[in-house]
Structure 1
């Protein structure tokens, strides 16, 4: 009886072990099937590398300056009697701006003119007397010297009187006035700023290596933050004949028209110098480039071939696409495009989105661009 119970228990244990072993084996089989099954294609976006004419440009940054600009100051001290302009007004050449009190100078000028008149009369009388030898030559020389001194005194007072009236040295736009009627101004006091905005200069620096590429008259494209969507064009007007020994850069000046007075002196400018030549270059979207510390690379899409050299097909009958990671040399970047100088040929397809999911040899499928159907529909509607 005891032996029978032991045999039954042993049989039950064996059955349980066999069941567990079968379950484990089936689970391992499922895992093997899962790992050995072909992986689904990774969806990516792609674009073709194009050979297109590429106008080389040299980037730089600079500062806008007025064609003529000055902070108006007074040369002689005095009290402001009249302010003859409004802040922000456009003024013409020699237009009066400030009239300072000049009563003292006018009185002194009247005295000097009276002395000049007397000196002139005495000089003319002495000339007639010296011809008749009624006075000595030295006395006549003294009279001539007195006349010259009187003339100089009048000229000096007239110049000082003119400095009491501040006029515009050139036509332009005057800034916010800094003085009022009744203010006493000492020499050097700033009245306002005057800027000629009809033309502007933009001063910028380029590395000394770029000097051979620059020439007077070369076109320059300019962008400013205030008008981010606008492009202003000018041309190089001057090259500094000296390289800065501290930075090894050369100062360059370009000139541009400013007919609407949109641009103002002091604005920060981004520039692109248009370099000569329009050679074709291999260009890809900038999103296709993967930038790393050890080099820039792209994923090039190709069709997989079997051992017999025949192109393989996927389960839908389409070519079996794989990617190859290829290191490239890149050049200029502009408007979402980048020049590839080495490592890529025109017509090759590159991945533009989804690179983080890829590895060398990964199976991919090119996703349809969402904008393509819409664009096609628009073209069809326009054709109808």
Structure 2
């Protein structure tokens, strides 16, 4: 009886030990089995001609622009322009009441005619010594005074008729017939839109790279995706002390009149000379406080230096985290100055799941495919 119980107990212990051993074996087998590869997207770095550019922001200004004002006070008699129309240089715009000035001018011209007659008579008399030299001088002075008064009144009369100082597009009128205008009142704005200036600032470190005649490329929010080209026209001869920036002015043709003064402009100064640069998508760069890095994909090799393959016969791929020095970024691309060679395969998505030496599998980038499809539809 006792022997039977011992045998049952030993059998139960053997079953438990066997179960534990089987469970442990399964665990070891599970952890020792190769991990599935991490799916990532990748592209190859390329070496392309890269033109360096200096980005900046600025404002558009008219080549010639002025707010038209009146110099002499008076009442508006006639408005000779329509709001928004194009006007020529010298074209009359506003006629003010000038009856008083015209009457004064007529009186002054009559006095001038009398002074001229008396001056001519005095000249003949002084030759014959019929009048004194001082009397002749008085007649000459009266003639000069009358001449000056006529010129003064003619100038005042001319100020009653306001003309365009240059050709351009006139804005919305600010006055109406019958308005009394005091000196300095604005009647409208006049802008020459055929050519525009774009004023912008660049850091003082950029001064050696700038020169008059360099090309600039401008874009504005009103016309997304469209670029306007111009040339640097002037460099300010001093650096702003408060910002340490240098003011630059470029001239921009505007034959279609699309651009307007006051618009906010994004622009790039095109530096001369193209250089061969290694370029990758911006999504391939991982930015951290310790530096910028990329994950470079390569074939895993065994101890003998032979490439290893997966069960499906394809090369086993692993990643290497490599720190790089980056340069300019533009249109979704970034220049890699150091740490990467051309034609190396880099990860563009899935970096958060990776570590140095991780086993990966390359899959198509769905984001890029979606973007390409949208581009085709547009």
Structure 1 and Structure 2 fold alike (TM over 0.5): yes
Pairing 1:364–2:360 present: yes
SS in 1 for 2:307: coil
Matches within 5 A, 1:344-359: 344-359=340-355
- Which of residues 243, 247, 253 in structure 2 aligns to 1:251? 247
- Which of residues 170, 179, 183 in structure 2 aligns to 1:183? 179
Pairing 1:60–2:56 present: yes
Pairing 1:217–2:213 present: yes
Matches within 5 A, 1:1-384: 22-368=18-364
SS in 2 for 1:324: strand
Aligned equivalents of 2:354, 2:365: Cα separation in 1: 19
Relative to structure 1, the CA distance from residue 307 to residue 109 in structure 2 (aligned partners, 3 Å threshold; closer, same or farther) is same
Give a deviation string over 1:327-368, Cα, whole Å, max 9, x none. 100001111111000000111110111111111100011114
Relative to structure 1, the CA distance from residue 109 to residue 373 in structure 2 (aligned partners, 3 Å threshold; closer, same or farther) is closer
Displacement of 1:282: 0.7
Displacement of 1:233: 0.5
- Relative to the length of structure 1, the TM-score reads 0.91
RMSD (Å), alpha carbons? 2.2
Relative to structure 1, the CA distance from residue 11 to residue 163 in structure 2 (aligned partners, 3 Å threshold; closer, same or farther) is farther
Q: Which runs of 4+ in 1 moved over 4 A?
A: 5-25, 369-374
Q: Give the structure 1 partner of residue 373 of structure 2.
A: none
Aligned equivalents of 2:135, 2:89: Cα separation in 1: 48
8 Å Cα contact 2:297-2:347 kept in structure 1: yes
Displacement of 1:113: 0.9
Show structure 2 runs of 5+ residues with no match.
371-378
Displacement of 1:370: 6.3
Give a deviation string over 1:31-76, Cα, whole Å, max 9, x none. 3322221111111111111111111111111111111100000111
Q: Give the structure 2 partner of residue 377 of structure 1.
A: none
SS in 2 for 1:328: strand
Give a deviation string over 1:132-152, Cα, whole Å, max 9, x none. 111111111111111111111
Q: Give the structure 2 partner of residue 378 of structure 1.
A: none
Relative to structure 1, the CA distance from residue 57 to residue 373 in structure 2 (aligned partners, 3 Å threshold; closer, same or farther) is closer
Aligned equivalents of 2:8, 2:68: Cα separation in 1: 111
Aligned equivalents of 2:98, 2:367: Cα separation in 1: 76
How many positions carry a matched residue from both structures?
Answer: 370
Displacement of 1:107: 1.0
Aligned equivalents of 2:223, 2:69: Cα separation in 1: 33
Aligned equivalents of 2:336, 2:369: Cα separation in 1: 30
SS in 2 for 1:155: helix
8 Å Cα contact 2:349-2:365 kept in structure 1: no
SS in 1 for 2:130: coil
Q: Give the structure 2 partner of residue 382 of structure 1.
A: none
Show structure 1 runs of 5+ residues with no match.
375-384
